[in-house]
Amino acid sequence: MAEKQALNATFFAFRKREKSGVLLGATIAYLVLAVLIGGAFFVLNAQGFADYINWVTNMGASMEGAKPGAPVSLDYMMPPQSVMALAPAYLLFLLVAYVLLASYEAACLRWMIRGETGGVFGLSLGADTWRVYFGYWVWFFLLIAFYIVCAILAGGTIFSLVSMTRGDLSDAGPATALVPFGVVLLLLIGLIYFGVRFAPAAATSIARRKFAFFDAWSVSKGRFWALLGAFVLLFLMWVVFYVIVAIGAGFAAATLVGSQLGQVSEPQSAQEAFRAFANPQWVGIIAGFVGVMLIATMMLYVAMFGINARAAVAALEEGKIKSAE
């Protein structure tokens, strides 16, 4: 086995490679398809959303106008059929959206780990996509198991506190009061630890050319702090950038408000005030903020893919894992 090497994974995704623009092309293709899929979902279910708003409005008006103690009419309690159809439509939308996300992640990982492209701007429904997609399901069931453990520990903690205080929690001492805090802290540490250890799962499957979710444990062995540090650094950079952009957008909005208020000579109605602020300048500020943060968020995603890709590449070089082909 090769000697353990430094990970240096924080900006691995943005290293110069033989061919440029691969990750950018995949990201643009992903965003275009995501907008089309999301737009199609809202267009196809526009009537359901409109009926939901009307149903909630009518139910609220009915409850306000009802006499105290009078039962609410069942006609208002049952949502329209179009509203009930939103749930299965949304589940279908999520399935398609996650397949698209898996295709995008697989495209990025395939390029960073194996230097390969394929499909349309890297996006495809090939084997790599399904390896990543089934990994999402493993994450889903692991989270369910984690929630079950949390519920069991929370129930056990409450039962123990009640037993120790004989049902009177007001008599609980400081040490007893720290028990729930300790349990929550323990669960949080466990979530972070296992989350980081299995973070390279998708990258491991791409590197091994087979579904190998749990081999990520070997990939991240001895690299927990390096991986955690890289993830935390990226997140902190994103937060700082968000704060800077938000302050800039807020300053621009405040300047615009000041200029518009200076043009008001007398009190206006709420409708007139709304019209005053519904102008291209406001739209530009909002669109600019959303656009800049969208770019920053996508860069964060790609950088996180890069951290996991670097861990998988290092594991291949060190012999911790081997390609199936």
Q: Mapping DSSP to helix (H, G, I), strand (E, B) and coil, where does residue 123 land?
A: strand
d(CA 86, CA 28): 29
Contact present, 314 and 5 (Cβ < 8 Å): yes
- Which structure tokens are listed for 16? 């110069």
pLDDT of residue 230: 93
Please say whether the dihedral angle defined by the alpha carbons of residues 86, 88, 94 and 97, taken in this order, is positive or negative.
negative
Phi, psi of 284 (to 5 degrees): -65, -40
In a 10 Å sphere around its CB, with 0-12 CB exposed, 13-18 middle and 19+ buried, how is residue 135 labelled? buried
List residues bridging with 120 in a β-sheet. Answer: 123
pLDDT of residue 34: 93
- Which structure tokens are listed for 177? 């009061």
How many other CB atoms are found less than 10 A from the CB of residue 129?
24
Q: How far is CA 37 from the centre of its chain?
A: 18
Distances (CA, A) of 55 to 85, 162, 183, 244: 14, 44, 42, 41
Q: Mapping DSSP to helix (H, G, I), strand (E, B) and coil, where does residue 142 land?
A: helix
Quick check: pTM over 0.85?
no
d(CA 153, CA 146): 11
Q: Mapping DSSP to helix (H, G, I), strand (E, B) and coil, where does residue 293 land?
A: helix
d(CA 106, CA 127): 9
d(CA 321, CA 313): 9
| Domain range list for the chain | 12-45+85-318
Contact present, 99 and 129 (Cβ < 8 Å): yes
Nearest to 216 by CA among 270, 288, 135, 271: 135
Local confidence pLDDT in tens for the 325 residues of the chain: 445 656 778 888 888 887 888 999 999 999 999 999 999 988 888 887 777 777 677 666 555 554 555 455 555 566 777 777 778 888 999 999 999 999 999 999 999 998 888 888 889 999 999 999 999 999 999 999 988 888 887 777 776 666 665 555 555 556 566 666 777 788 889 899 999 999 999 999 999 999 999 999 999 998 999 999 999 999 999 999 999 999 988 888 777 766 655 555 454 544 555 555 566 777 788 888 899 999 999 999 999 999 999 999 999 988 888 887 6
